[in-house]
A and B are shown apart, each in its own frame.
Chain A
Amino acid sequence: GQQVMQIPQYQHVQEGEDFTTYCNSSTTLSNIQWYKQRPGGHPVFLIQLVKSGEVKKQKRLTFQFGEAKKNSSLHITATQTTDVGTYFCAGPLGSSNTGKLIFGQGTTLQVKP
């Protein structure tokens, strides 16, 4: 069946270091979304990428969508303790336009001050 895989599952960094999480889909995606979940919280939407090769930036966060629209990455420059949480990528589940998303397993980021 359709799968979305994320690596790594966990990442511990020193504050100020960079961080990257990678997302790979078994199928071509029409778009990909990224969410952040703080410890004990709920997922919160960060961004959506739609175009092949698209790159978007949000302050220290850089999101990329692969040319084949099967992979994506999130890069955080100079991490801060406020970046702690789990980052999920998600793509449309199936082919119908019902808004269903399939999520990766997530990458949990720990930042040591």
Chain B
Amino acid sequence: NAGVTQTPKFRVLKTGQSMTLLCAQDMNHEYMYWYRQDPGMGLRLIHYSVGEGTTAKGEVPDGYNVSRLKKQNFLLGLESAAPSQTSVYFCASRWTGLTGELFFGEGSRLTVL
């Protein structure tokens, strides 16, 4: 039982390049989220999904796109990377109850030069 798995763990991009981060969970969770973490700013929600085929914007969605074609996978895309997108990205998932904890992946560290 792997929980939430993110790939890749590390990536270096040049400004203007594109890439996709993959998040996979094996807990059959409906809800999935992408957060970014920057020093002194905690975790900020980029996009989220409440089920297969649905996505919605979070607090800081600009410059990112997402897709949830399969329930277990949530992809985060950067079409044209900018240095401001240098960050650690965390995927998380949870069940659909009124309350409940988030299960986080180990993170993906992205550097944009």
Contact = CB atoms under 8 A, between A and B. Distances in A.
Instruction: Say whether A associates with B.
Output: yes
Interface of A: 4, 6, 9, 30-31, 33, 35, 41-45, 48, 50, 88, 90, 93, 97-106
Interface of B: 31, 33, 35, 40-45, 48, 50, 56, 58-59, 90, 94, 96, 98-107
Contacts of B33: 99-100
Nearest to B101: A45
Interface of A is mostly: loop
A48 B99 CA distance: 9
Given A93-B59, A98-B31, A100-B58, A42 B44 contact: no
A31 B99 CA distance: 8
Contacts, number: 62
A103 B99 contact: no
B104 A44 contact: yes
A43 B43 contact: yes
A105 B99 contact: no
A43 B90 contact: yes
Given A9-B40, A45-B101, A48-B99, A101 B45 contact: yes
A98 B48 contact: yes
7 contacts: A48-B100, A93-B58, A97-B98, A98-B50, A99-B33, A101-B102, A103-B44
Given A31-B99, A98-B31, A105 B104 contact: no
B41 to A, nearest CB: 6
Q: Which of A33, A43, A93 has the most CB of B within 10 A?
A: A43
Contacts of A105: 40-42
The 9 closest A-B pairs by CB, nearest first: A45-B101, A103-B42, A42-B104, A103-B43, A105-B42, A99-B31, A43-B104, A99-B94, A31-B99
